[in-house]
Structure 1
C-alpha cells in the first residue's frame, strides 16, 4: 500500500515521484525474484482479487486496467498488472490479482479487502480442461467424472461464504453477471475500489476487453497486455479466450457427466451462488 510520503511526493511534484519510482523498480529487478515480488505485492496490497482458474479473471483485469489507464492518464503500462497502477500513481488502490485458496497464506485476510470472482464450476471445468489438456486425462468426460477439480471449486466457494467476515471488506462478483450486464457489474467493482471513473470510460474499457478484441490480443500479441497471460503460441483450443459462453458446458459433455456435475453441485455447493439449480 502506498505510503503517505509517496502520495505527498506524487502530489507535490509528479516528475520527481516518477523518477524515484523508476529507480526503485530498477533496483528491485536486480535482487527481487518473481516469487519475492509476488509475496511483497500479496502482503502489501489493499485489495486482493481472488478466483480459481478459468473464471474470467483475465477479462476483469483488462477491463479494470484499461479503465484506470484512461481515467488517470497512465501511459505505457501493462493493463494486466493491476498492482503496477498503484506504483505509478500512489493515489490508486493497490490491487493484487491471484489464485489463492482460503487460508493459503495463514488466514491473513483481515489486512485486506477481497474481491471474489466466481464462475459456474461446470463451465470453469470445461474451460480449464481445454486450456490445460496436455497435463490432464485424455478425455474431457473422464476428467470431469473424476471429480477432483470439481471438489476444489466447491470447497473454494464454500470456504469464502463461511469466512468472508474475516476480511476488511468483501465483494463477490459472478462471471455470469459480468456477462449479463458488464457495465453494472464493473461499476460495482469500481465503487468497491473507491474509484471515481465515469460510465463513459467504463464503457470504453468494456469495448476494449470485448471478446473478439481479447481473442485478437491473444492471437496477435499486444504491448498493452503483457506478462504471458494471453499467450498466442497456444493452439486456438488451448487459449484462454476460447468461448466465454454461459452454460456452454452442455455442448461439450456427455449426459452422464452433466448429470454428475448437476447432482454434485446441487448437493454440496452453497446455494447462495445460484449454481445449484
Structure 2
C-alpha cells in the first residue's frame, strides 16, 4: 500500500528505543520497498526511494523545518557535485570576511553547509537550525516536490547542480563502497546499474529528481538556479560569477582586479580541497546521533567529466543515454 507519511506521527529521532522501533516498523509496513544498496531495503515515499536512515530525516524535515526568505538552499541529487558547490557558495557569501580559505583548512565543506534532513539526528535539531544567523546556507538531497512546504512559501533561493547520469552512477558506486550505515554488504555493480536504470536508487529516479528542479528554474528563474557540472568544469570562473549574480552578491570590478574571484576558484578546486589535511583524514557523521558516517576523503575522487568511460561498457553507456534522451530532451535539458 503506497501511503503518504504525512498522516503518520512525527518521527521522533530522540526517545525510547521501543517507540523508535515502533515508528520504523510502521513506516516499513506501509510503503512499497525494493532491494537497497547498502541496507536491506529502499522505501518509496512520494515517488522517490530512500533507505530508512534517510527517510526518517526526510519526514522530520517536512514536519519541522521552518524556511526563511533569506535562506539559500543547495538542493541536489547525490554525487552530482554538491561538495564543490558547497565550497564555492560558502566562499562567495563569506568572501568579505578574512580567512574563508582557513575554514576549508580545518573543515570539510559538508561541515560548513549542513543538510536539513540530517539535522534530524542532532540533539536539539529545531533549536540548532533556528539559532543559525541569516542568511543561512543549507543543503538537501530532497526532490523539489518533497521539499518542506515552508521552503516553497518562503521564496528563498535554491541552487541545484546537475550532471551526466553516467558520471553520477560511477561516483555513487565509489561512494557507496566507503559509506558506513549498516552491516549489509554493498550491492554489486550489475545489480546497482539495473536498479539505477529502473529509477530505484537513493533519492531516485535520477531523471525525475533533476527534472523537478529544472522545471522550477524555468518557472521561477529568480528563485531557482540550475548549474550543469560540465559547465562548471568547462568555465569555472564564469559559472561562479553567474552563481554570485543569482545570490545577489555579484563580484565588483575591484574584486575581480584584486583576484578575489580567481582565489575562490583556486581555493575551491577539487584538487586543492582534496589535498587539504581536513579532507585527507577523519570521518563525517550525518548528524551527531546518527550511525551513518563516511571518510571525508570519500568526497574527493576524481571529479572529471567523462570518467564513466573507465568504468562503464559501451552497452551500459548507451542504455543510460537512451533513458536520458527519452526523459529529458523534450524539456530542453541535455548533457
Q: Do the structures match in fold with TM over 0.5?
A: yes
What are the ranges of 5 or more consecutive residues in structure 2 without an aligned counterpart? 1-56, 115-127, 179-183, 287-292
1:56 aligns with 2:55: no
Aligned to 1:177: 231
| Count of residues paired in the alignment | 232
**Secondary structure, counterpart of 1:103 in structure 2:** helix
Distance (Å, rounded) in 2 between the aligned partners of 1:244 and 1:55: 9
- Cα distance change on mapping 1:255 and 1:42 into 2, 3 Å: farther
Q: What pairs with 1:96-107 in structure 2 (closer than 5 Å)? A: 96-105=138-147, 107=149
Check the 8 A contact 2:74/2:138 in 1, yes or no. Answer: yes
Distance (Å, rounded) in 2 between the aligned partners of 1:161 and 1:269: 10
- Cα distance change on mapping 1:167 and 1:205 into 2, 3 Å: closer
**Secondary structure, counterpart of 2:239 in structure 1:** helix
**Secondary structure, counterpart of 1:194 in structure 2:** coil
Aligned to 1:256: 315
> Taking structure 2 as the reference length, what is the TM-score of the superposition?
0.58
Cα deviation, residue 139, structure 1 = 3.0
- Cα distance change on mapping 1:136 and 1:262 into 2, 3 Å: farther
Aligned to 1:274: 334
1:162 aligns with 2:207: no
Check the 8 A contact 2:63/2:148 in 1, yes or no. Answer: no
Higher strand proportion: 2
Cα deviation, residue 166, structure 1 = 5.7
Distance (Å, rounded) in 1 between the aligned partners of 2:95 and 2:72: 21
> Taking structure 1 as the reference length, what is the TM-score of the superposition?
0.69
- Cα distance change on mapping 1:252 and 1:103 into 2, 3 Å: same
Higher helix proportion: 1
What are the ranges of 5 or more consecutive residues in structure 1 without an aligned counterpart? 1-34
Q: Which of 244, 260, 263 is matched with 1:190 structurally?
A: 244
Cα deviation, residue 235, structure 1 = 9.6
Larger mean CA deviation between 36-45 and 163-172 belongs to: 36-45
Distance (Å, rounded) in 2 between the aligned partners of 1:123 and 1:141: 16
Cα deviation, residue 161, structure 1 = 3.2
Aligned to 1:119: 163
Aligned to 1:144: 193
- Cα distance change on mapping 1:211 and 1:37 into 2, 3 Å: same
Check the 8 A contact 2:281/2:296 in 1, yes or no. Answer: no
Cα deviation, residue 109, structure 1 = 1.9
Check the 8 A contact 1:140/1:253 in 2, yes or no. Answer: no
1:47 aligns with 2:107: no
